[in-house]
Amino acid sequence: MKLIQECEPGFGGGYPWHVLPRTSKCVGPALKWEAFLFTVGKILLLAAFFLLVATPTASRRSNAGITSHTPACRPINVTIAAEKEDCLVCMPITTTICSGYCETREMLLKDERIVFNQRVCTYKEVRYETMLLRGCPAGVDPIFTYPVAVSCHCDLCKVASSDCTVQGTGPNSCSNPNPFV
């Protein structure tokens, strides 16, 4: 029994299996098997692509997968500007804030029907400290209260306690025209 039929010239002779003309008269068992495998391969590749695109890829892990050269989410020391609208002076305060990277992913195809929340480095535990501002006129409360990060983690941004903008003004900028004292 012969598994591969002889083909007429121009109908599969010398062609690789993936570029055979659709009108080929070569329909032996080996050619049918190759066509079947090619079709199954295309279907599997297409299914894998749709699975990758359609699945939301937001990670629930906090710092998993972050490489050693990217600083993980943690408390760091910074200097912030302390000011009040009626006080004449902007004072520098050293405190602790949450900073670092959290694992985030972006979907290739955007779909407004899919809610996709990124995790950010934010406060897990916070305490508040106070200081007295200088240059406040009589009748203005000189007490300034500010947060101190005790611990941090990757979570959804909470607008009640964090600046969730793409890029804020920065912690050390004064709206007051007077410089730091």
Q: Model's pTM, two decimal places?
A: 0.52
The tens place of each residue's pLDDT in the chain, 181 residues long, gives 444 444 544 444 444 444 445 555 555 555 566 777 678 777 877 777 666 665 544 334 444 444 556 789 999 999 988 888 888 888 889 999 999 999 877 777 777 777 667 788 988 999 999 999 988 899 999 999 999 999 999 998 777 766 666 655 555 567 665 555 5
Q: How far is CA 178 from the centre of its chain?
A: 38
Report the C-alpha gap between 174 and 30 in whole angstroms.
78
**How many CA atoms lie less than 13 Å away from 63 in the CB half-sphere?**
15
Report the C-alpha gap between 132 and 24 in whole angstroms.
89
pLDDT at residue 129, as a whole number: 96
Q: Which CATH class is domain 74-155?
A: mainly beta
Report the C-alpha gap between 173 and 78 in whole angstroms.
13
How many C-beta atoms surround the C-beta of residue 150 within 10 A? 13
Report the C-alpha gap between 63 and 67 in whole angstroms.
9
| Residue 82, both tokens | 């302390």
Please, are residues 102 and 73 in contact by the beta-carbon 8 Å criterion? yes
- Identify the CA nearest to 73 among candidates 83, 64, 84: 64
User: How long, in residues, is the chain?
Assistant: 181
- Identify the CA nearest to 93 among candidates 171, 25, 34, 167: 171
Report the C-alpha gap between 122 and 8 in whole angstroms.
71
pLDDT at residue 157, as a whole number: 79
pLDDT at residue 40, as a whole number: 73
How far is residue 177 from each of residues 82, 85, 86, 89, measured CA to CA in Å? 13, 11, 12, 9
Please, are residues 89 and 144 in contact by the beta-carbon 8 Å criterion? no
Q: Where are the domains of the chain?
A: 17-54, 74-155
pLDDT at residue 89, as a whole number: 83
